[in-house]
């Protein structure tokens, strides 16, 4: 679209169905203020709440946030412990915070390595929100895209070996349904904050045709207006999925 014809406010009728977010920059936000990284993560959790609310209000159907990657275990133990405390707190509150809302909460990622308390809380919140329909909040916790692909390959191999499907029946669609995201549609828009421009093992299969939006804003500073900017930019893009317009 020509620059002069670009829309200036986003269109509520064309909200991306699935928005995925890499919430980056908590540590730098804190360091800039001479605070501990933990404080940055706490502020980051506040930003999550604001964006979840806004996504709900404007009609986003799926919102996936990258909370903790399979590789984040390599951070100092105190930081990992603090993050796990935050996730537990968030999961415990999630039910109350979303009780007046029609939000289904799901957690994707490996349960291995997570504390028993977190695993139980995950099961509880997933179970209690299973019938909610308006929005899906998907939290990627202990998640790695490559790891997910490997476990999907194993499931497919099992199905072939057990005669459930034949090798020539494997399509990208069939394969996609073995991933942790199963029936969740691919993200339309992926936002990464803090100026970093990479996927970091997040939804690497699912982002084949996703529009990427990078912003220098650090995650704790990411507010409604930044979210709107990302959506507006998305609405000004031309998606062709390999075809022509």
Q: Scan residues 62-81 and list those touching ligand FPP (CB under 6 A).
A: 65, 67, 72
How is the beta sheet containing 62-69 ordered, strand by strand? 103-108, 135-143, 62-69, 18-22, 189-192, 211-214
The interface region with ligand FPP, picked from 82-90, 121-129, 157-165, 174-182 by CB under 6 A, is 82-90
Integer Cα distance of 184 and 84 in angstroms: 25
142 is annotated as an active-site residue: no
Binding mask 149-188 for ligand FPP (x = CB under 6 A): ----------------------------------------
Please report whether residue 109 would count as binding ligand FPP according to CB under 6 A.
no
The structure tokens 């291995």 sit at 112
CB 156 within 8 A of CB 175: yes
Q: Which of 16, 24, 202, 235 binds ligand FPP (CB under 6 A)?
A: 24
Integer Cα distance of 215 and 194 in angstroms: 6
Annotated catalytic residue, options 11, 13, 24, 26:
24
Q: Which of 27, 144, 145, 187 binds ligand FPP (CB under 6 A)?
A: 27
Q: Which residues contact 219 (CB under 8 A, 6 or more apart)?
A: 23, 24, 25, 26, 29, 44, 47, 193, 194
Q: Which of 21, 45, 103, 105 binds ligand FPP (CB under 6 A)?
A: 45
Shorter beta-carbon distance to ligand FPP: residue 90 or 143: 90
CB 204 within 8 A of CB 146: yes
- Closest by CA to 106, choosing from 81, 138, 77, is 138
168 is annotated as an active-site residue: no
Shorter beta-carbon distance to ligand FPP: residue 59 or 195: 195
What length does the chain have? 245
* Nearest residue to the partner ligand FPP, using Cβ: 27
Q: How many residues bind ligand FPP (CB under 6 A)?
A: 19
Q: Where does this chain bind ligand FPP (CB under 6 A)?
A: 23-28, 41, 44-45, 48, 65, 67, 72, 86-87, 90, 139, 194, 219
């Amino acid at each position: 679209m020509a620059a002069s014809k670009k829309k200036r406010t986003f269109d509520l009728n064309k909200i991306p169905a699935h928005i995925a977010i890499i919430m980056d920059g908590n540590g730098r936000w804190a360091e800039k203020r001479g605070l501990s990284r933990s404080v940055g993560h706490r502020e980051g959790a506040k930003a999550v709440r604001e964006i979840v609310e806004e996504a709900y209000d404007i009609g986003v159907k799926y919102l996936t946030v990258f909370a903790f990657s399979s590789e984040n275990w390599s951070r100092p133990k105190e930081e990992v412990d603090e993050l796990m405390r935050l996730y537990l707190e968030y999961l415990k509150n999630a039910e109350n915070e979303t009780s007046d809302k029609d939000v289904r909460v799901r957690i994707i990622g490996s349960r291995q390595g997570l504390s028993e308390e977190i695993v139980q809380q995950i099961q509880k919140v997933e179970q209690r929100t299973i019938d909610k329909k308006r929005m899906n909040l998907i939290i990627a916790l202990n998640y790695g895209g490559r790891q997910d692909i490997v476990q999907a390959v194993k499931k497919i191999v099992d199905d072939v070996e057990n005669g459930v499907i034949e090798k020539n029946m494997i399509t990208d669609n069939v394969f996609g349904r073995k991933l942790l995201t199963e029936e969740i549609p691919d993200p339309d828009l992926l936002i990464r904050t803090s100026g970093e421009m990479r996927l970091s093992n997040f939804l690497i299969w699912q982002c084949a045709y996703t529009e990427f939006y990078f912003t220098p804003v650090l995650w704790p500073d990411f507010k409604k207006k930044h979210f709107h900017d990302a959506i507006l930019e998305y609405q000004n893009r031309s998606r062709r999925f390999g075809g022509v317009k």
